[in-house]
Amino acid sequence: MKPSRLREAAWDDIEPALDYSFEHAEHMVDASSEVILAGRVHVERHPGTGSPRYAVQGLAEVLRFWLWPRFSYGLSYVERSDLIDIVRVQHQASDIPAQLDH
């Protein structure tokens, strides 16, 4: 199992997701936090399970996207030799490729 780190953009993605849960489904805030942590642990244990659908051709690193079951968010991450680098935490209805360009 490799450790993971959340890039600043990923941290910035998580806050509005939890804020939305708090505003619209307060009873889901703890569950949302637990799901986010469980997703992080999942990609640490199984980094190859993410889809390379948003990967950019020609780059040495393969960007993967893993979607949580029964949750509307996914992790965009790169497996490195020493860690899992979580680039973004994105809602699946968002324009994921455009967000990855920033």
* Domain ranges for the chain: 4-100
- Mean predicted lDDT score pLDDT of the chain: 81
Residue 69 near residue 89 (C-beta atoms within 8 A): no
Residue 86: its pLDDT value, please? 93
Four-way CATH pick for 4-100: 3.30.565.10, 3.40.1190.20, 3.40.1350.10, 3.30.2310.20: 3.30.2310.20
Residue 98: its pLDDT value, please? 76
Residue 46: its pLDDT value, please? 95
- Cα 9 from chain centroid (whole Å): 10
- Percent of the chain topping pLDDT 70: 82
21-70 per-position pLDDT tens digit: 677 766 666 666 777 788 899 999 999 888 887 776 555 578 898 988 77
Contacts of 43 (CB under 8 A, 6+ apart): 4, 49, 50, 64, 66, 75, 77, 84, 86
H or E stretch covering 98:
helix 96-100
Residue 42: its pLDDT value, please? 93
End-to-end C-alpha distance for the chain, whole angstroms: 29
